[in-house]
Chain A
Amino acid sequence: MVAAFRRARKGGVTVTFGTDESRVLRHVLAEMLDLLGSGDDTAGSSEDPLTAAVGIGTSTSAPEDPALARLFPDGYTDDPESSADFRRYTEPGLRAAKRGALETAVATLGEPGERVVLTPEQAEAWLRALNDTRLVLGQRLGVTEQWDELIESLPDDDPRLGLFWVYDRLTYLQETLVQALWTGP
């Protein structure tokens, strides 16, 4: 069974995940949530509770993990100072938003074989969750514009092949969601 999102009434979408798909998605989404953490992992920080309460972080530079850095790019072109300020004020909120989308996806996976009906808001969360997951996987794999040729050249026992397969499936899944939402109101 190959899952595909389809338009439903009132701007929602439906999808049915098979057993294996459900298992892989659950695993990948959980890994993403682990990767994003709770935001308390900024090195050497003991945040002022007041600034933490209003969502101001302590991080002033991009995460060292290149995959994470891709999710939290600099906000200003060639302006490290402004980027650092922007990051401090926005990264915690951005992290929370991305976590929220992933958590919504996990919560609406449904049982294997169950036809899940998603509201427009849940569909939007899936869109962002899937895309962030693809960004991380793609970053880890070193996906480039020529990645089709790259896959062709990999030997059959290359450990990246499995991850490419997951990336490919997620790409297809996201595309069906984009199509379902594109033709909406």
Chain B
Amino acid sequence: MPIANPWGDLDALRQEIDRTFRTFWSDRGSQHWRVAFLPGHGARQYPLVNLSEDEGNLYVEALAPGVDPKSLDLSVLQGTLTIKGEKSGLAQVTADAYHRNERAAGRFTRTIELPVQVDAGKVQADYRNGLLLVTISKSEAAKPKQIQVNVAG
């Protein structure tokens, strides 16, 4: 039964404000892409992920263009999902040949805490057009249960 979410509009507004600030501070947003691979950058977040859910599954969508699918390594452990991989750089381009160099490359590891209990045995991952979609099945305990009402008499 769908219920209208009164906080939906408010949430949309909050996200819009967040976005405005993010783009203001990070200068057009695209700077993130480079910073993400700097060595020793403690707060790096690569790849960026969106998390969504439905009744039976949890979906993690990661923004990872140019990653060789063979280099991707995913693991689910104790309520966390770890994504490892490598975005390959350009070989044989000398520094003085560049007009612009805004993209970055390198190895990455990111661990995401999952908000619900999941079944580690039922994980599926698809890589398409630079987006990684991981579908994780929720554990039976985390799924909503339909309860039958018995009518007496």
A and B interact: no
Chain B residues in contact with chain A, CB under 8 A? none
